[in-house]
Amino acid sequence: MTLGQLQDRAVSARPSHDTVIDVMDAAGPQVWYDMTVEVALSVMAAARAGHLVVCDEDARCVGLVTQARLTAVRDSSEYTDRIRLGDIIDGSEFFVSPLVTREEAEEAVPVGRLELVPVVDNHGSALGVLALSR
């Protein structure tokens, strides 16, 4: 097979629809859900990150927290130094598959949710983060 034949076969008349894996960002720092808010803020500052992916004891992604959310928790009147990330992850977190298109992912996540959504594999491991265009 010549190079010309390879190029001819690679050309497609269909428009390409990028999957989430093609447009996602790196997951960034991953931390355990039993970490305190203060420690999480320190990790975030040291990593110069705007978010943390929160994982359970089996390294499955259970959510994502932003600096704004952690700061709001720390500054609230109910705050104590015993509050852990698992206490502020409410179980209604949304995740997307790396195999869906960006359009499908944006349609699936309700308006008003975080602008960053974890991308997870079939085992719940974080592969990256999708920034929604809202």
The CA distance from 50 to 3, in Å, is 45
Q: What secondary structure does DSSP assign to 9-54, as a single string?
A: HH--SSPP--BHHHHPBP---EEETTSBHHHHHHHHHHHT-SEEEE
For the question of whether the overall pTM of this predicted structure is more than 0.85, the answer is no
pLDDT, tens digit, for every residue of 72-104?
999 999 999 999 999 998 777 788 999 999 888
pLDDT, tens digit, for every residue of 34-61?
999 999 999 999 999 999 999 999 999 9
Backbone angles phi, psi at 113, to 5 degrees: -80, 180
Residue 11 banded pLDDT, cuts 50, 70, 90:
very low
The CA distance from 56 to 117, in Å, is 17
The answer, yes or no, to whether residue 29 has pLDDT greater than 80, is yes
Element containing residue 62 per DSSP (H, E): strand 61-66
Domains of the chain: 16-131 (3.10.580.10)
The CA distance from 14 to 120, in Å, is 28
